[in-house]
Chain A
Amino acid sequence: DSGVTQTPKHLITATGQRVTLRCSPRSGDLSVYWYQQSLDQGLQFLIQYYNGEERAKGNILERFSAQQFPDLHSELNLSSLELGDSALYFCASSGREGWYQETQYFGPGTRLLVL
């Protein structure tokens, strides 16, 4: 158990809909990272927040947005969903601001299925 929690575990929705994925980082961790893992693309970095502020952006679509709240939990909002958005979405947390590879702890993921 990494200490990172994600809800929901599974999500099934229809095209065009909007969903929110939630992540609670490990206690004390200020950084939250979101990743998308699909079968054909592997694990791709989407966005990072550090202590409430956006710090880095990866391959995140304009239909997707995220935020980190004062209690440090984070939400990833996916809108106008398409079939290709079906994937596993992972959240990771770290106690450090940067990309220190040894200190990212991943949650169990949310499996999104868009029908």
Chain B
Amino acid sequence: LAKTTQPISMDSYEGQEVNITCSHNNIATNDYITWYQQFPSQGPRFIIQGYKTKVTNEVASLFIPADRKSSTLSLPRVSLSDTAVYYCLVGDVEGNTPLVFGKGTRLSVIA
């Protein structure tokens, strides 16, 4: 099971771009990288998923280098409502790996 490492917390001002990096050195060939967002007292919510290179959706971008040993979640122009915990997960495309949520990165957006 690929272990992930992310910063415990980050602070940002409103309007800035925030990049949260996750390390997953022993990622397997079959593994995808997924990011979840969790607001206080709510369940986690899927944000974005990728295998390699770059993925973008209406919420965020995910950058994955060629060696796939890390990934970076990019949130453009954050607002106060982006204050949440962000989790990086790694799991296989066949669906055989239970989701393992680490402690996540607590992002605080300041006005």
Contact = CB atoms under 8 A, between A and B. Distances in A.
Given A42-B103, A42-B104, A58-B98, A99 B43 contact: no
A99 B34 CA distance: 12
A105 B44 CA distance: 8
Given A101-B34, A101-B49, A109 B101 contact: no
B43 A90 contact: yes
For A99, A101, A103, A105, the residue with the greatest tally of chain B CB atoms inside 10 Å of its CB is A101
B45 interface: yes
Do most interface residues of chain B lie in helix, strand or loop, or is the interface mixed?
loop
Given A98-B94, A101-B32, A102-B49, A45 B99 contact: yes
Contacts of A58: 98
A111 B41 contact: yes
Contacts of A45: 98-100
B46 A101 contact: yes
A35 B43 CA distance: 10
A103 B41 CA distance: 21
Contacts of B91: 99, 101
A107 B98 contact: no
